[in-house]
Amino acid sequence: MAYLSDGFKDIFLAGVGAMAITGEKTKELVDQLISKGELTVDQGRQINTELKHKAEQAVATVRYDALEARMAAMTPEERAEFAAKAAEIAARVDAQEKAGAEVGDASAVETSDDPAASGAAQTPVEPVQPCS
């Protein structure tokens, strides 16, 4: 079963390598175009974003194609074992995300009509939006 994990490790590392190369090449291209005066900074950012999005799509396609090819080479028993392990991992990640949401719940704080009752006025807390 060691060769199965090696295959997934290789697929993962290939995806990471593809993202790194794409990011480097994208930055080089945008920097070159900006230095030649063909683009404004805003246009460069827009193109960079578009190129990153296309690169992410390409990497996802390659990753899923490689996974599909690897699974096609597995025996039915290996595929069943892999599916069971993937379901186990997904359940664990879902449980961790749910536990994280409960711990960091950003729901509003209930306040009393009488601020003097608690010694200080309480205000609702707005949830923080993640940066993208």
Higher pLDDT, 115 or 7: 7
Reported as a single tens digit per residue, the pLDDT across 12-41 is 888 888 888 888 888 888 888 777 776 577
Reported as a single tens digit per residue, the pLDDT across 69-94 is 888 898 999 999 999 999 999 999 99
CB 57 within 8 A of CB 51: no
DSSP H helices, the chain, are: 2-35, 41-72, 76-103, 115-118
Burial bucket for residue 61 (CB in 10 Å: 0-12, 13-18, 19+)? exposed
- CA pair distance 65, 57, nearest whole angstrom: 12
The alpha carbons of the chain give a radius of gyration, in whole angstroms, of 24
Higher pLDDT, 83 or 103: 83
Reported as a single tens digit per residue, the pLDDT across 53-73 is 998 998 889 888 888 888 889
